[in-house]
Amino acid sequence: MADAKKLSSLDASFLYLETPEMPMHVGSMAIFRLPEDYKGDFFEEFKAMIASRLHIAPILKARLEKAPLDIDHPSWVEDDQFDIDRHIFRASLPEPRDRATLERIVGWMHAKLLNRARPLWEFYVFEGMKDNEIGLYSKMHHACIDGGAGAALTSMIYDVTPVPRQVDPPTARKVAQEPRDIAANLIDSYQQLWTQPFDAKAAPTSLELPRTGKSDLGSILFDNAMFQIETAVKFASSMPTMLKSLSDVVGKISDPKSRDSLASMASPPTILNKTISSERSFAGVSISLSRAKALAKASGGKLNDVVLALSSGVVRRYLISQGGLPNKSLTAAVPISLREEGNADANNQVFGMICSIATNVDDPKTRLETIIAQSTKSKEMSHPLRALMPQVSNLSMLGAPIVTQILALLYSRSNLSDVLPPAANITVSNVPGPRQTLYAAGAELLHIFPVSISTHGIALNITVQSYRDQLDFGFIAGANIIPHVQILCDMLPTEFEALEAAFVPPPRMTSAAE
């Protein structure tokens, strides 16, 4: 069996928080168009292409291996019984075989848990759509991927020309060397631990203690003890940075000017913040990326501010139609990527902030300007915490996995989210995607609508992916909260036009006299 790679605490948390009502996988609904003269079998060609490139993304062949008694985080190990026919399926789309039908099926399928005995991903190919289109629904567990890694994975698998590129086959695996004696490694590490603090040129963060790599209970206890020592050393080395971050946080909280910012992050209860069922409603819609960027420039904000304003306007319209718009502004949980440019590791590198989205403001222009100001304040408030994330994202405690899973199930079954104040009212995420046209097995990629996660207490998730010159919005919600999320999608183009009209003056009409 290949070397095991233990999940970080952040990655593993998506496994522990998962319940039948709250799956923790993310995905997309991609729309392709086949060439007019296409005569092949797209499903078989697509499957063969993915099979030939699995070595580019090793996570696609990795399955979970649990620790005994769930005493520690599970590990990724190569699935020695991997079968691609258990991951890529030919799906059936009933009449009228249009995108609306596909969206309803994707919502239904996204509510189904992935099989943890296998690598945690699945592709479903829907052929026979109108206009020579192909639908591809994909899902992958959030434990092994975030939005940034998903975009990187997309770039690795797809092509930039209709003719698929040739991918070099996997190189022969190196024969693993016999591990050194654990006792000898411990002596070396002990010496390293005590010499590094007195050597200014040696960073304590480089300490690496030996591991048994075995999965029996005694080995796990030993390996965890080594991990805790490593963590303590790294924690100590980063203490000055952490203390500065905590000092900055305390300073901002104690600053009277920050009180209003903190108050704006409090989320009012709404009809969207309830316990969700095990069903999902999904829909997608697209707008022009260049027009959205022009709007951001005209308003003095960023593209993220425009996405927040569009989400705010849509949710505001919906709540008004339901008679449930609160007087206080709603808030959005906004994930922020900590992934460095070029990093394609299949793991989670995210942070987040809470931002007021000005749903209590009627005028579209004033609403966007308010959101720009609020998002700036939220970034300032959350910035000191960003430095803490690398240090706290992989803290581990024996027994935590089973305890966390029990608490997650208790929270899900007790309907506590119906009575507790929501941490945020909606989730809004913006994932940068490729600007160039992509292809798969000769088919042109037209759209890639994100399909994300609904949670208890935050039923609505709006995730946006840019592709070429468009923003593809994916709306997903607990179906017991919003039975037909398509209603919100239908409102978005109108909201976009209202924002444009507020900031971009109409072209000047010239009179005949001129």
Beta strand ranges found along 34-184 (DSSP E): 62-65, 75-78, 88-91, 121-126, 133-141
> Of 293, 427, 421, which Cα lies nearest the Cα of 353?
427
- Asked if 57 contacts 153 with a C-beta cutoff of 8 angstroms, the reply is yes
Reduce the DSSP state of residue 511 to 3 states and report it.
Answer: coil
- Asked if 119 contacts 79 with a C-beta cutoff of 8 angstroms, the reply is yes
What single letter denotes the amino acid at residue 240? Answer: P
Burial of 182 (0-12, 13-18, 19+ CB in 10 A): middle
Of the CA atoms within 13 Å of residue 345, those in its CB half-sphere come to 15
> Of 380, 450, 358, which Cα lies nearest the Cα of 148?
450
- Fold (topology level) of 5-157: Chloramphenicol Acetyltransferase (3.30.559)
Beta-strand pair 331-337/350-356:
antiparallel
Q: Residue 240 is encoded by which pair of tokens?
A: 């000055």
- The Cα–Cα gap between 470 and 459 comes to 26
- Asked if 489 contacts 284 with a C-beta cutoff of 8 angstroms, the reply is yes
- The Cα–Cα gap between 74 and 290 comes to 44
- The Cα–Cα gap between 244 and 351 comes to 18
- Asked if 57 contacts 76 with a C-beta cutoff of 8 angstroms, the reply is no
Confidence at residue 199, expressed as pLDDT on a 0 to 100 scale? 43
The Cβ of residue 508 has, within 10 Å, a number of other Cβ atoms equal to 5
Beta-strand pair 88-91/121-126:
parallel
- Asked if 347 contacts 8 with a C-beta cutoff of 8 angstroms, the reply is yes
- Asked if 426 contacts 392 with a C-beta cutoff of 8 angstroms, the reply is no
- The Cα–Cα gap between 187 and 341 comes to 38
- The Cα–Cα gap between 374 and 376 comes to 5
The single residue of 142, 383, 447, 484 carrying the catalytic annotation is 142
- The Cα–Cα gap between 282 and 23 comes to 15
Helix (H) / strand (E) containing 386: helix 364-386
The architecture (CATH level 2) of 244-405+412-434+452-503 comes to 2-Layer Sandwich (3.30)
Task: Let me know how many helices (H) and strands (E) the chain has, helices first.
Answer: 14, 15
456: annotated active-site residue: no
- The Cα–Cα gap between 72 and 95 comes to 48
**Phi/psi of residue 404, each to 5°?**
-65, -40
- The Cα–Cα gap between 147 and 154 comes to 10
Q: Calculate the CA dihedral of residues 337, 338, 343, 345 and round it to 10 degrees.
A: -80
The Cβ of residue 295 has, within 10 Å, a number of other Cβ atoms equal to 24
Contacts of 320 (CB under 8 A, 6+ apart): none
Residue recorded with tokens 């989400």 = 311
The torsion region of residue 442 among left (phi > 0), alpha (psi -120 to 50) and beta comes to left
| Angle made by CA atoms 54, 341, 230, in degrees to the nearest 5 | 80
Confidence at residue 389, expressed as pLDDT on a 0 to 100 scale? 55
> Which residues of the chain are modeled with pLDDT < 70?
1-3, 146-152, 155-156, 172-264, 337-351, 382-401, 505-514
Helix (H) / strand (E) containing 292: helix 289-299
Domain residue spans of the chain: 5-157, 182-240, 244-405+412-434+452-503
Confidence at residue 353, expressed as pLDDT on a 0 to 100 scale? 86
Residue recorded with tokens 């479903």 = 124
> Of 395, 391, 396, which Cα lies nearest the Cα of 243?
391
Buried (b) or exposed (e) across 148-178, using 16+ Cβ within 10 A?
Answer: bbbbbbbeebbbeeeebeeeeeeeeeeeeee
Confidence at residue 145, expressed as pLDDT on a 0 to 100 scale? 80
Q: Residue 187 is encoded by which pair of tokens?
A: 């002596």
Same topology for domains 5-157 and 244-405+412-434+452-503, yes or no? Answer: yes
Identify whether 96 is preceded by a cis peptide bond (ω within 30 of 0). Answer: yes
Burial of 367 (0-12, 13-18, 19+ CB in 10 A): buried
